[in-house]
Amino acid sequence: MGASDPEVAPWARGGAAGMAGAGAGAGARGGAAAGVEARARDPPPAHRAHPRHPRPAAQPSARRMDGGSGGLGSGDNAPTTEALFVALGAGVTALSHPLLYVKLLIQVGHEPMPPTLGTNVLGRKVLYLPSFFTYAKYIVQVDGKIGLFRGLSPRLMSNALSTVTRGSMKKVFPPDEIEQVSNKDDMKTSLKKVVKETSYEMMMQCVSRMLAHPLHVISMRCMVQFVGREAKYSGVLSSIGKIFKEEGLLGFFVGLIPHLLGDVVFLWGCNLLAHFINAYLVDDSVSDTPGGLGNDQNPGSQVGLSGFQIAVSMLTYPFLLVGDLMAVNNCGLQAGLPPYSPVFKSWIHCWKYLSVQGQLFRGSSLLFRRVSSGSCFALE
């Protein structure tokens, strides 16, 4: 959740825009996704590579939007562009907030409505939990339509801070010294450039994540108050005071480590996968034809690239889940205490507990939510 989101989607990202629209847990996912798509948009090489030699990979990370002449972020237009990214990101965040809200309540195990009996594709009877739409309708019944936007303010502030942080870091540490991957590079040289550029993106993502995480924690806690109908965390300033008084400085960074690990794994996974796919699996004759990975005019290329982005995102989902659960665990709210959740000693303890329960992907699906075998619900 985010968020993941180690972050879309929560799921138009790339550079500063990625952090603005990603929302909780999905910043790195946006930056990496934009980088992978940038690879597909690169023009085909002037000369075809020798068929016996692998095709060098294209640029792996987010396209520069602040360094080139005439770019969106060049010269005097940089502040205006950054403000535009913040505004666009705020709009995307607000529109996607109900989705993230319902997702978080499912992640903490809050199931206020009983499952319904249905059949699967094989015709067997299966219990299904309420989908996102049914869950959202329930929230509206309890809190009204405005209730779907509980915790939105700190989330907007978190995303804006991430956007500004990434923009400032690009000014202090400009990416101009990073060499772009060229079709003239051999495999060793191109891989080094991929690693260097991905490391640069990772540095920006980690710093922005750390600075914005306290606001992410506040947003998560504001949302899970729905479970116990509490009002402990109401405003950003008052929430900062409560967390500092009860938990100290470390209270603002609970759940940070799994979020960082998820962002890093997603970023490196997407960029390296795209590099090796372009280098070893995609032939120039394929990339220049309709549907090839290197063809800018074909939606087929985007679909192919998005496929393994989604796959990597699913593999890193447990980090997003554990990070969000740790953010609300043992903070005085019902959603972070038994029977909803044990009091975890660390994020590793939380991971092991979810693994044993078979719940490491809880909340990853919001439409077809089948009751797991370990659930308290059972067929009569």
Q: Which residues pair with 116 in a beta bridge?
A: 128
Residue 161: inside a domain: yes
- For 311, phi then psi, to 5°, come to -65, -45
Residue 222 belongs to domain with CATH number: 1.50.40.10
Residue 254: inside a domain: yes
Judge whether 23 and 10 are in contact, CB under 8 Å. Answer: yes
Residue 172: inside a domain: yes
Sole residue written with tokens 């759940």: 255
Judge whether 57 and 190 are in contact, CB under 8 Å. Answer: yes
Residue 31: inside a domain: no
Residue 54: inside a domain: no
Which residues have CB under 8 Å from 182's CB, separation 6+?
56, 190
pLDDT in tens, the chain (380 residues): 444 444 333 333 333 333 333 343 444 455 444 444 444 444 444 444 444 444 444 444 443 334 333 444 444 566 787 788 888 989 999 999 999 999 999 999 999 999 888 887 888 888 889 999 999 999 999 999 999 999 999 999 999 999 999 989 888 888 766 655 555 556 677 788 889 889 999 999 999 999 999 999 999 999 999 999 999 998 899 999 999 999 999 999 999 999 999 999 999 999 888 888 877 766 554 444 444 444 444 454 455 556 677 888 899 999 999 999 999 999 999 999 998 899 999 999 999 999 999 999 999 988 888 886 545 443 33
Residue 314: inside a domain: yes
Q: Indicate the number of domains in the chain.
A: 1
Residue 99: inside a domain: yes
| Identity of the amino acid at 103 | K
Which residue range is the domain that position 144 belongs to?
A: 81-283+300-357
3-state secondary structure of 124: coil
CA torsion sign for 221, 164, 71, 272 is negative
Judge whether 85 and 30 are in contact, CB under 8 Å. Answer: no
Residue 63: inside a domain: no
- Kindly report whether the peptide bond that precedes residue 214 is cis, defined as omega within 30 degrees of 0: no
Judge whether 316 and 81 are in contact, CB under 8 Å. Answer: no
